[in-house]
Amino acid sequence: MMKHRHLKMVISALSGFCVLTMAALLFVVLFEPGLAYRTVTPLPPARDASFTSALAHAVGEAIVQPLETTVFPDGERFYPAELEAIRNAKTSIELEAFIFHKTAVGERFLNELTARARAGVAVRVVVDAVGSLPTPDSFFDRLRAAGGQVVWYQPFRWYTLKHWNNRTHRELLIVDGDTAFIGGAGISSHWDGGTAGLPPWRDLMMRVRGAPARALQSVFFQGWLEASGDILVSPGMPRNEADAPGPSAAADPPDAADPADGHGQALIIGSNPTGGRATRARVMYQLIVDAARSDILIDTPYFVPDRSMRRALLRAVARGVRVTVITPGRHNNHPIARIASRRHYGELIAGGVQIYEYQPGMIHTKLFIADGLWSIVGSTNFDNRSLGLNNEVNLALRDAEVARTLANIATDYLAQSQRISLEAWAARPWSERLLASIGSVLERQE
């Protein structure tokens, strides 16, 4: 009897310890404070040539020059362009996707990838296990049967539990190590025809050729290593000699653009969270906000800036910078994120930030423009999940022509958006206020 009583006491103590441990871990996940980013070194203005070098040094990336940049402002144009690039691939295709859903457009991509794999092209696909949760692994069987490789990023295994909060949020396609597509659109009906009676999500992708494509390929290599364990060292290189489709598979891509071509300068920022909670994407945004002198435009589906970024935006307004934010209205696909976003509107609007909510449907574009010269396109949202937890990738371009093209697209967004006044924000219903207070617990996860 004494032995049974002692055993029960031990089990009870262990159970209590486990509960406390899990509660402590949950507390850390939900309430871990973010870094208080601040720029302590004087910065040159964003338009100064010296700022490019300063930014490159801070994020640890080389300055490269595109051979070509093309903006595709909606799914009707970027999907056909991506599919055509895949169809014309000669040596290699790399695709990393947070969202690759089993939909009509997903089938079209799978068919083209399978055809190229069957033709001997090295096809590698990384798919996030959370972002593409509705997609069964069997969906990719025919691509694998044709010689392509598909791996899941952070699949649900006991050993990935401690990393469950880290996802690859990248939407990235590289063809032949020379042509790449980068932006915020995955592969789903969200961008192809729309859903639930709403128009397709507004989004854009950018195609780049030359040195930036090679740099984006290096970002993919890192994601491929984390998902598969394979170290890639050359575009199109097969896993072993027996898999080789032919001598052309290991050929080097074309040389990077000559600086005399005059296509502007670019930085590729592949962002991963560090143990110290810092990401290069967050550093990039902080520096450009601090260096802007005339105007900043932020277009993001989830606008939940941390305290230090809110302060940086308010400092920018105080020194005469016009700061404009475009974010979804009531059609946001993550209502909790919208409520968390609106919780901070009052502070920003009172400080002079102009906030607009897009009305027709969901706007998923991730776009940042500063001083009519700098543009950032990629996968990063203006929230902690992108800036502190996910693997992301961005293309920062110092190119006035590209900035004008993107600004024209943003002007179209603004024409379909409603500016939020301080009075309208203050009059929001009590139910939203209550949900915002509750949602603040999860704000670090948005």
Q: What separation in angstroms does the CA of 326 have from each of 169, 382, 401, 407?
A: 21, 11, 21, 12
Q: Across-strand partners of 358?
A: 328, 417
Structural domains of the chain, count: 2
User: Do 318 and 236 belong together in one domain?
Assistant: no
Given the structure tokens 């930036």, which residue do they identify? 212
User: Do 104 and 74 belong together in one domain?
Assistant: yes
Supply the pLDDT for residue 195.
75
pLDDT at 302 over 80: yes
DSSP sequence for 315-360 = HHHHTT-EEEEEEE-TT-S-HHHHHHHHTTHHHHHHTT-EEEEE-S
Supply the pLDDT for residue 280.
93
Residue 15 resides in a domain = no
Contact 406, 369 (CB under 8 A): yes
Residue whose C-alpha is closest to residue 227's, from 305, 126, 375: 126
- Put simply, whether the predicted model's pTM sits higher than 0.75 gets the answer yes
Residue 161 resides in a domain = yes
pLDDT, one tens digit per residue, over 377-412 is: 999 999 988 998 899 999 999 999 999 999 999 999
Bridge pairing between strands 374-378 and 392-398: antiparallel
What does the DSSP 8-state code read for residue 189? G
User: Do 239 and 272 belong together in one domain?
Assistant: no
User: Do 122 and 240 belong together in one domain?
Assistant: yes
pLDDT at 272 over 90: no
User: Do 203 and 338 belong together in one domain?
Assistant: no
Average pLDDT over every residue of 2-9: 62
Radius of gyration over alpha carbons of the chain, in Å? 23
Q: Which of 190, 218, 250 is where one domain is finished?
A: 250
> CA-to-CA distance for 174 and 248, rounded, in angstroms?
17
> Which residue segment(s) compose the domain that 45 sits in?
36-61+265-445
Q: Which of 250, 280, 305 is where one domain is finished?
A: 250
Per the structure block, which two tokens stand in for 391?
């693997």
State the pLDDT confidence band at 262, using cuts at 50, 70 and 90.
very low
CATH number at residue 190: 3.30.870.10
